[in-house]
Copies of this chain bind each other. A is one copy, B any other.
Amino acid sequence: MSSQEQPLSLLLRQLEIYARLPEEDRQLVLDLPHRLRRLDAGSYLVREGDCPTHCTVLVSGFAFRQKVTGHGARQILALCIPGDAVDLQNMFLDVSDHSVQLLTQCTVADVPRDVMQDVVLKRPAIGTAIIELTLVDSSILREWVVNIGRRDARARIAHILCEFAVRLESRGLADDKGFELPMTQEQLADATGLTSVHVNRVLKSLEADGLISRKRRNIHYDDWRALQDAGDFSRRYLHISDQDMIRQTY
């Protein structure tokens, strides 16, 4: 596994989607001092209110950002996939305004906060790339607001499936025409502002209509075009250029 020899290689790959780095900077990213940890599903990487001293990078496995309302309802705010730097936000803001929890067992790399801050401020190419990374995160968040605020249940589910597929693909992590969705229907519900019962019904309906097929949590697109249409999905907001998509199916 290249991610074992080079734990930060997927982070580098993500950075280079937004800006080519000089060889020197590439090496600097790969050589960032870090400590590797192996954590179980359900572990928290950050909790709302924390003042983290490290910037954690997902080496393998999946996670999500979340907030909980005063009435105990949970809203999932983003999905984190391998190569994501989980708390860039916390590098510059002292107190975390949301939690990050693991969806699956994960390997993570903790980079000291001050090292990361230094690199951002002193290496313009890396700094620019990291700023762009956080801006793309914002763009994704904006699309989530649109998804939850202005699309019906069917479109919301179709949309999030499309988004996840394209993001995985851009990092070379997607199977051919399908992927394992690492979340329960309840988590999917919390990500889309629905209930798990209704998510179930929508998934079955998408399946009945021949857009997807499912075996456990494995999603297969039977009709990618139709799924995109159903989800009103266009990958423009992900700011991924064509040449960064390995296959052109998406």
Contact = CB atoms under 8 A, between A and B. Distances in A.
Interface of A: 65, 67, 69-71, 73-75, 77, 89, 92-93, 95, 97-98, 120-121, 124, 127-128, 131-132, 134-139, 141-146, 148-151, 192-193, 232, 236-237, 239
Contacts of A146: 67, 69, 75, 77
B232 A98 contact: no
Contact of A67 (B92, B97, B142): B142
Minimum-distance CB pairs A-B, first 5: A149-B193, A73-B150, A70-B232, A75-B146, A75-B150
A132 to B, nearest CB: 5
B97 A239 contact: yes
Given A98-B142, A138-B138, 10 more contacts: A69-B151, A73-B151, A75-B145, A89-B135, A92-B135, A93-B136, A93-B239, A120-B131, A121-B128, A149-B192
A141 to B, nearest CB: 5
Contacts of A193: 148-150
Contacts of A143: 67, 97
B239 A95 contact: yes
Contacts of A69: 146, 150-151, 232
A169 to B, nearest CB: 19
Given A74-B150, A142-B77, A150-B193, A93 B135 contact: yes
A121 B132 contact: no
A142 B141 contact: yes
A120 B127 CA distance: 10
Given A151-B69, A237-B97, A127 B134 contact: no
Contacts of A95: 236, 239
Contact of A97 (B71, B93, B142): B142
Contacts of A237: 97
Contacts of A151: 69, 73
Nearest to A48: B236
A141 B137 CA distance: 11
Contacts of A142: 65, 67, 77, 97-98, 141
Contacts of A74: 150
A137 to B, nearest CB: 7
Contacts of A131: 92, 120, 131, 134
A146 B149 CA distance: 11
